[in-house]
Structure 1
Amino acid sequence: MSTEPETEQDAEWEGERETEPGRRVVIWRSAMLPGSETFVRNHGDALTRWRPAYLGAFRSESPLSRPDDVIAYPDGAGFLRLRLTGSSPRLTGALAGLRPDLVHAHFGGDGWLISDSARRLGVPLVVTVHGHDVTRQPRSRGAKGLRYRRNLRVMFARAALVVAVSEVIREQAIRHGADPFRVRVHYTGVPVPAAPPLVTKRWDVAFVGRFVAKKGVDDLLTALSTMTSPRPRALFIGDGELLGRMRDRAAELRVDATFVGSESPAAVHRHLAESRILAAPSKTAPDGDTEGLPTTILEAAALGVPVAATRHSGIPEAVVHGETGLLTPEADPVALAGSLTRLLGDADLRHRLGTQGRRRVLADFDLREQSLRLESLYDEVVSGATAHAGRTAG
């Protein structure tokens, strides 16, 4: 792969872009691609009119990594310069080699990392902000916080469009400098099977996510420890910095908990289908970190699995209390235990909420429909950039 910098689009590039079927979007994530970020891969793969190419700074060894992902810094050399300055001839060359019509970056920090290269090549940039990038990170103290907030403002100024995964995250992006007229909410889509799978239920409660403070695993374990008639069988899927501590906490509380670590998307779906309830006890972490809208909630609902969650960040935009799931206040294990007890004791309620939750996902969060809407946003951005270029030339 050539990494020589290119500063303008030559005639060969223009000819190729005119004759190839469909426009090309380069999907950028510095770590390509963590196992928890199925939403990045799913939306790229579901595009129908746009052709995706995946570009990363380095490879993340996970089930989502692919051999044909383009890696700009396979040996790590040069990445530090990019992180410190936001500019890199190697990244500009790698991006130019993919002949993009548009760049779509995920997370605010990564949007800044590639914004200079996109600007140098005259390629419009779309950046999706997901949660911690506009909640926790801008609140960092000292020089680190000052630098991040400055970079975020630069990215907002350079991006043609900022996409927020929920209304709450849109508000946070605007708070930190995004132009309200260039921030749009686009909900993450998830695959929806033709019908919920008919499987034997092995688990009473499932949790899927990273073991970090905002996920509220400690509250879930406390809630489960109070439920003894009968004691629920709980499955915990994922990894993260708090995994060891939460395992110890489960043993201390004598919770019937099985921890299986990180799993492939197919295995996660199988585990969810085998569960009676998904618990999503998210909360604001001590450092201000919050969710955007957890895709696991949507994945469970697509399978007809009811959700017990909290009124946190974008969750109420997907879960309607009493209609598609049950919601409780953040950091309230007693209330959470009440929701879990109610659902486990009422099969008809589980069926009703699961059925209605699935209908909600089909209406508003289906991957195919949301990817079509994403392509429409791409079209708007490119059309706007073309019109602007024409006015400038004139």
Structure 2
Amino acid sequence: MKKLAVEWESYEMPSYGMNHSTDKTGIVGGLGVVTDEVLQRISGSVDITGIGASFLRGETLPTFEEIDGYKVIRPVYNATLSDAVKRCAGLFERAGIEFTGVHIRELPMLPFIRDYSLAIPEVKVSGSHDMICSHDWMSILGGYEKSREENTPLIVFLHSLESGRVGGMVHTPLGPREARPGGIFAGSRMIRDIEVLGLKESTVCFTVGTTMVEEVKLVGKSHGVPVKQIEKKLFPIHHGVDIKIFRPINGVEKEYDVLFIGRFAAVKGILELLDAIKMVKALVPDIRVKLIGGGELEPDIRRKIKRSYLEGNVTISTDWIQKEEKVLEINKAKMTIAPSKYEPHGQFDLESSSCGVPCITGTGGFIERVIPGVTGLSCNPFDAKDIAKKVHSLLSDENLREEMGRNARDFVVKNYSWDERAKVYPKIFEIVKSGDLTDLNDLPLTVDLQSTGFL
């Protein structure tokens, strides 16, 4: 039986670099993690051509590579920025989306769109693809153009949305809502329009959980896409974690009471976390906290630590850490924390749980996985007092921490291993090829907590 041929477009594609290193590069965030984890597991059953960016984090990457049984191509599109804007305008017009030009604040993103997204249709391979998968706004314009040229089904994966990434939307226990009036229109209009184009013009659209399904509906409706049209093609899908890499390590000394790894941004709840740590310090004067990450709030965080007299309690590392380093850091912690106010899926809780370390999580995708009091704890990320209460409750009960850690590891191994989660992708491709999207409802796209046996 002939393999299905799928073009997988992701700005972040794994690479061994120009020097053919033994360690993978080209993976910056969750988009690269998902691409790497899924493709290495399905390349034996699906003929994958990956299309990635040729320049990432200051590094030029090879034009062509073979990785884990699939091909990776990194194209270049030679055109002026003026020509790129005209091409974008034509694509928006074709999709029935009004394009009023590029705002001055959007000028820095034009080279990015030209050099990656508009380069995607330049890739010509022998034979045809059965379908195209475009991941997030970075790939959508190029994927849309190519799918129309080749009359090929277009699968769009929305891992997050612009208005949420910039703080216009938040996730609450009751679902997504605007963080402020007009928040649903926050951020770059051009990026929002690209996301809407992907939702509107795709054959089928996936997003990273049930919370994000509701957010995509809200954003799509506010941008003129009928809800009924969205509901016919929008499906949630959960990611996984590599349970062999992220694992408990025996004999590692607990150096931190609390560990945070993530972007230093307001939506991650890191300022509220520092307020909470100040409260806990009144009860546990020698509490030890480590923050690993980077981002726009770094200066504010350093000032807050100093003003709150937490210099002796909180350490910051902004160095990029590789996967094995991350595993070790997690194992050094008594607990981890991710008090996000906006979190489409989240990965840190899965990684921590897989290492047998309980995690305190905020809202969004985290709520879809945590079983409070069994595999971890949920906190109100908008309330520093609640965060402090949850941190202190785990810090003061070693037996509870250890029990939760064992439960968390067991839960993730049984339900969120990438070896199992990745198996759904070839089935998705087969259904899209058949044309009957209703069959997607029969796939285990997400993990149903009621059926896990942990409730």
Question: Which whole-Å CA distance do the structure 2 matches of 1:158 and 1:242 have between them?
Answer: 36
Amino acid at match of 2:405: G
**Bigger Cα displacement from structure 2, 71-80 vs 360-369:** 71-80
Residue 269 of structure 2: aligned partner: 216
2:151 to 122, 141, 160: 122
- Matching residue within 316, 320, 332 for 1:259: 316
Amino acid at match of 1:333: A
Amino acid at match of 2:254: K
Map of 1:10 onto structure 2: none
Instruction: String of CA shifts for 1:3-52, please: whole Å, max 9, x gaps.
Output: xxxxxxxxxxxxxxx86xx3343321235545122223222222242243
**1:108·1:128 contact (CA, 8 Å) conserved in 2?**
no
Given that 1:111 and 1:127 are in contact with CA atoms closer than 8 Å, whether structure 2 keeps it comes out as yes
Runs (5+) with no aligned partner, structure 1: 1-17, 284-289, 387-394
Indicate the SS of the match to 2:340.
coil
Q: Partner letter of residue 267 of structure 2? A: K
Aligned length: 359
Report the Cα offset of residue 95 of structure 1: 5.4
Distance 1:206 1:100 in 2: 44
State the Cα deviation string for residues 201-248 of structure 1 (Å, max 9, x = none). Answer: 222111111111110111111111222224322122222222232123
1:238 aligns with 2:267: no
Q: What CA deviation, in whole Å up to 9, does each residue of 1:351-387 have, x standing for no partner? A: 111122222222332111110012211221122289x
Aligned partner of residue 248 in structure 2, secondary structure: coil
CA displacement at 1:96 relative to structure 2: 4.3
Q: Within 1, Cα distance between the matches of 2:28 and 2:187? A: 31
After the TM superposition, which of the residue ranges 329-338 and 123-132 deviates more from structure 2? 123-132
Letter in 2 for 1:71: R
Distance 1:185 1:364, change over 3 A: farther
Residue 124 of structure 1 deviates from its aligned partner by: 2.0
Q: What is residue 73 of structure 1 aligned with on the other side?
A: 76
- Give deviations 1:129-177, integer Å, cap 9, x for gaps: 12234745795659953x5554333322322221111101011222313
What CA deviation, in whole Å up to 9, does each residue of 1:283-302 have, x standing for no partner? Answer: 1xxxxxx2112111111111
| C-alpha displacement of 1:324 | 1.1
The percent identity for this pair of structures is: 20
Counterpart position of 2:304: 249
Q: Structure 1 residues 323, 143: closer, same or farther in 2, change over 3 A? A: closer
CA contact 1:196–1:302 (8 Å) conserved in 2: yes
**TM-score normalized by structure 2?**
0.70
Task: Give the aligned partner of residue 448 of structure 2.
Answer: none
TM-score (norm 1): 0.80
Give 1:211's aligned amino acid.
F
8 Å contact from structure 1 (residues 190, 365) kept in 2 = yes
Q: Distance in 1 between matches of 2:304 and 2:79?
A: 38
Q: 1:141 to 1:181 in 2, by over 3 A?
A: closer
Aligned to 2:11: 30
Cα RMSD of the aligned pairs, angstroms, is 3.1
Give the corresponding residue for 1:347: 398
What is the match of residue 243 of structure 2? 192
Q: Deviations over 1:57-91 (max 9, x none)?
A: 44213899777342223778669446555498743
Q: Which residue of 1 is the match for residue 198 of structure 2?
A: 155
| Secondary structure of the corresponding residue to residue 280 of structure 2 | coil
- Looking at structure 2, the residues matched to 96 and 331 of structure 1 have their Cα atoms a distance apart, in angstroms, of 50
Which amino acid in the other structure matches residue 73 of structure 2?
V
